[in-house]
Structure 1
Amino acid sequence: MKRRILLAGLLLTTWYTQAQSPFTHGRLRVSDNQRYLVHQDGTPFFWLGDTAWELFHRLNREEAERYLKRRAAQGFTVVQAVALAELDGLNTANALGEKPLVNNDPGQPNEAYFKHVDYILDKAAENGIVVAFLPTWGDKLNKSTWGKGPEIFTTQNARAFGRWLGNRYKNRENIVWIMGGDRTPRDGSEDVAVWRTMAEGVAEGVGGHDKALMSFHPQPNALEMGGSSHWFHNDKWLDFNMLQNGHCRDTPTHDKIAFVYNRTPVKPVMDAEPIYEDHPVCFNAKDLGTSNAYDVRKYAYLDLFAGAHGHTYGCHDVWQMYAPGQEPVNGPHMAWHEALDLPAANQMQWVRKLMESRPMLDRVPDQSLIVENNYGPADRIQATRGQDYAFVYTSAGRPFTLQLGKISGKEVRAYWFDPRKGETKPAGTFANQGSQSLKPPTTGYGQDWVLILDDASRNYPLPGASR
């Protein structure tokens, strides 16, 4: 037993060491089939993100390095952070005492502030982490009750600011550009035009649209299924789509993923802000409590199996980099550095291990794999497959009937994968035809499982520790 644990630890260390040198494959681009992200040489890239919105603003250099090292060790590949930060990022200085702009003028960036950004970007690259870089939070564009303004952007200075940033960071391979910042463009305003011109400015600064992988981070909106695609799907600069689920339990975000997945032209899609761990559910902790690891896991597997190319995790205490003495937002429970090791943060490694254990680029959502394919979000069963494998996620451990013959091979081999521990156990071998009833090892609240189904002739390795 000890030998098996030691071996698993060595394999995990090797995986992370390899993961921390991704830029030898070149910067990121959209895959040839328009569904996924890959490096320039075609090497697949799995987006396992963390929302670190206040990273550049609230953390000093030692703290930022501590954060990045821990997230890299946990298998995260992306952090999402904002240059002009949400929490009064224009008027409250960063941890080094610097504000981002002189006189809140986008035409006068403060070099000292952006040298701190440079340093953190360097440390992210050293740790093998891509930074999903937001030039500004949304309330710098349109005022709202969430975050603090003032409005500073027009179509003219947004283009210039985007161009300045693009030129500054054009040689960095660990940046993905994200317009928006948790805001809905207002009807009848210049908001959409401002975001478009900022994106165009970034593209000009880096030397062309083909050198700036971009998306848009939207607010959740039940009336707009498409997230970023609602406004920008046909824009040349929008390379992939983002959604946000609104921090409530069991929102059917998987349906929104499917909606955007099926739009044309085809573009990758993902949930870039799911329910955060340790967050007031629907912003109402008194009546609904606080989110837990199970809430967080469900979104990851349901979204990915519905067609998302990657997934972002978030933690309520971490996104705001809360620490004693900082102004808290919505009742954080602990300092950011303590929250780094909450259960779901450590469980996200198993999401990545599973997805990377089989060929990623031919994977498609396929609910026809299961008979019980229309349960509600609380006990949803979601299926996805490649040419020679399939994954089925049963969010409450409900039994299901598998429709065989959907993948290659005369014989299939099945395993149960535990999303809590990353362990796998055999589930049988059977002919690849007809139907097969399967019952997860446990059932009920918090007892989610993934069925792994392989073409037996492929002899794929297990994604986690075996039992």
Structure 2
Amino acid sequence: MKTYKVILIAALAFLGLGSIHAQEKKSKIDIPWENGKLKVSDNKRFLQHENGKPFFWLGETAWLLPSRSNRDEVDFFMNETQKNGYNVVQISTLHTFSAMNAYGDWALPDGFTFENTDKKGEYNYWQHVDYIVEKAKAKGIYIGIVCVWGSVVQQKQLSIENAKIYGKFLAERYKKYPNIVWLIGGDIRGDVQPEVWQTLAKTIRAIDPDHLMTFHPRGRTISTTWFNNEPWLDFNMFQSGHRRYGQRFGDGDYPIEENTEEDNWRFVERSLAENPLKPVIDGEPSYEDIPHGLHDFDERYWQAEDVRRYAYWSVFAGSFGHTYGHNSTMQMLRPSYQASFGAKKPWWEALHDPGCQQMKYLKKLFLAFPFFERIPDQSVITNVNGVQYERVIATRGKDYILVYNYTNRLTEIDLTKISGNKKKAWWFNPRNGKTEFIAEFENGKQTFINDSGYGAGNDWVLIVTDASKSYVEGNLIDNKN
């Protein structure tokens, strides 16, 4: 541990990031729950605060933060994550039955007995989780808590009776914090030991009715399948997973169509067609810098353009936000740990990878326009659409249209779908958040293609507004991207 601490301190000094406290004083931190607690919007498709302010979920994934971080690392991680624009961090508090943290403290030293958890003069496993939640709170960040990873339940290491005890412990410990979201499940199907998941969820909800709750499922599945009718499930979550088109690896129960593995927008459309209607989000798409299919390290690795595509496809299809992940960050990889899934760099370097840095522009884009009226609308696109990477996807409000185009293919847009006799159009660059004015147009159909050329990963967002509106000028053009 001492050797690693030297490495980390040197890395921070090299990056010029050693004085976190000085940086905190320079920038005002947005504290979202000052607008009231999170709730589902009245139209059942988004999240908002009690005062009506919209909440665009932009999640960072750090599953092993409780077990692999010390306090200095938590400070640095939360500082950088807030600067990167994220407002949610997803963690796993009990990733294995024998979970231990960086200080050598066991999560369950007495099994599922918590009467003597907090001993005077000791800093234990759960106090370190408290520290994570508190540091996130200071940065205006919600913590999405996966209570127990699915493999623990699948191996029957958590009984129904212990789920009651554990759920009571968690709810009573964390209900006081304003920045909690409960993630039942953990990379598992909802029909594996369903009684345990139901017990855990209902126990927490009975004690803590004030925080939102969902279920984090296995790759290429969605919580809608098992829990959409459950009162404790406030919004749906799917894991679009880490496989490219055509990758199967002999999976037995494969619940999606052949060659649609990357089409995460399909999960959104499916969920939004269910009754009762609930908000939906991709809680685990392909991680940046992880091999296609996870297990063959000679495979290609997912890049920044891939994580952008997953994010924009999902949100344009109707998701209320998006969760990003990086191979190194999700496992909090550092030199003293064995890497999984071919990860190579330490997590503090991964926080500066391009895909990680670019997610904030997605949030900025959607908060620039009237939020709750937005709907997915493919009828905006009037020429023949493409499939797989060439699929162009559109969303709109009453007086604005947003069209995401991953390959920059020629696209024809029906400008009459929104108000106004005249329309203005811009290009929005998802790599740097900058906008470029195109022209003003009369009503009718108009073709668009950016002059940067055709190609996978040359993605652009077309913005069209009623010419009388100033959303772009007022919210996106500020030269501070």
State TM-score, norm by structure 1: 0.89
Aligned with 2:476 (options 460, 463, 467) = 463
2:52 aligned residue (34, 39, 42): 42
Which residue of 2 is the match for residue 214 of structure 1?
A: 213
Please report how far the alpha carbon of residue 440 of structure 1 lies from its aligned counterpart in structure 2 after TM superposition.
1.7
**Number of the residue aligned with 1:204:** 206
Unaligned runs of 5+ in 1: 1-12, 144-150
Number of the residue aligned with 1:148: none
Structure 1 residues 343, 68: closer, same or farther in 2, change over 3 A? same
Letter in 2 for 1:39: H
Alignment of 1:64-75 (within 5 A): 64-75=74-85
Change in 2 beyond 3 A, CA 1:464/1:134? farther
Structure 1, 384-393 or 19-28: larger mean CA deviation: 19-28
Q: Is the 8 A contact 1:106 1:152 kept in 2?
A: no
**Letter aligned with residue 240 of structure 2:** N
1:3 paired residue number? none
Which one is further off, 245-254 or 18-27?
Answer: 18-27
* In structure 2, distance between residues paired with 1:430 and 1:75: 34
Alignment of 1:381-460 (within 5 A): 381-432=392-443, 434-442=444-452, 443-460=454-471
Are 2:162 and 1:157 equivalent residues in the alignment? yes
Question: Displacement, 1:367?
Answer: 0.3
Aligned to 1:175: 180
**Distance in 2 between the 1:42 and 1:160 partners?**
36
Q: Which 10-residue stretch deviates more, 228-237 or 243-252? A: 243-252
Report the Cα offset of residue 464 of structure 1. Answer: 4.9
1:422 touches 1:465 (CA, 8 Å); kept in 2? no
The residue type paired with residue 217 of structure 1 is H
Decide whether aligned partners of structure 1 residues 117 and 58 sit closer, same or farther in structure 2, where only a CA change above 3 A counts: same
How far is 1:48 from its partner?
0.4
Contact kept? 2:112, 2:166, Cα under 8 Å: no
The offset of 1:110, in angstroms, is: 3.6
* 1:449 CA displacement: 0.3
**Secondary structure at 2:417 match in 1:** coil
Residue 368 of structure 2 contacts residue 476 of structure 2 at CA under 8 Å; is this kept in 1?
A: yes
Are 1:249 and 2:244 counterparts? yes
How many residues are treated as equivalent by the alignment? 433
Q: 1:255 to 1:64 in 2, by over 3 A?
A: same
Shift of 1:373: 5.9
Task: Give the superposed CA RMSD.
Answer: 2.0
* Secondary structure of residue in 2 paired with 1:84: coil
Residue 318 of structure 2 contacts residue 376 of structure 2 at CA under 8 Å; is this kept in 1? yes
- Residues 1:115 and 2:115 are matched in the alignment: no
Tell me how far apart the structure 2 counterparts of residues 138 and 415 of structure 1 sit (CA, whole Å). Answer: 45
| Conserved 8 A contact 1:20-1:72 | no
Specify which of 101, 104, 127 is matched with residue 108 of structure 2: 101
**Which residue does the alignment assign to 2:17?**
none
Deviation at 1:152, TM superposition (A): 2.4
Per-residue Cα deviation, 1:127-152 (whole angstroms, up to 9, x for no partner): 11011111111111113xxxxxxx32
Aligned counterpart for 2:87 among listed residues 71, 77, 91: 77
What's the TM-score once normalised by structure 2's chain length?
0.86
Which aligned pairs between 1:212-361 and structure 2 lie closer than 5 A? 212-221=211-220, 227-249=222-244, 251-286=262-297, 288-361=299-372
Kept after mapping to 1: 8 A contact 2:239/2:282:
yes
Structure 1's consecutive aligned runs of 4 or more residues displaced over 6 angstroms after TM superposition are none
| 1:135 aligned partner, one-letter code | C
Task: Measure, in 2, the Cα distance between the counterparts of 1:212 and 1:199.
Answer: 12
* Counterpart contact for 1:367–1:373, Cα < 8 Å: no
Show CA shifts across 1:360-387 (max 9, x none): 1111100000024642121210000011
Shift of 1:99: 1.0
- Among the aligned pairs, what percent are the same residue? 39
Query: In the alignment, which residue of structure 2 is the partner of 1:147?
Result: none
SS in 1 for 2:389: helix
Provide the secondary structure at the position in 2 that maps to 1:405: helix
Q: What whole-Å deviation, never above 9, does each CA across 1:333-388 have from its counterpart, x for those lacking one?
A: 10111111000111111111111111111111000000246421212100000111
In structure 1, which of residues 47, 55, 62 is the aligned counterpart of residue 72 of structure 2?
Answer: 62
C-alpha distance 464-161 of structure 1, shift in aligned 2 (>3 A): farther
Displacement of 1:324 after TM fit? 0.8
CA separation in 1, counterparts of 2:335 and 2:324? 23
What residue identity is the alignment partner of 2:464?
L
Q: In structure 2, how many angstroms separate the alpha carbons of the residues matched to 1:428 and 1:229?
A: 42
Deviation of 1:248 (Å): 2.1
Determine the structure 1 residue equivalent to 2:189.
Answer: 184
Give the CA deviation at 1:102: 2.3
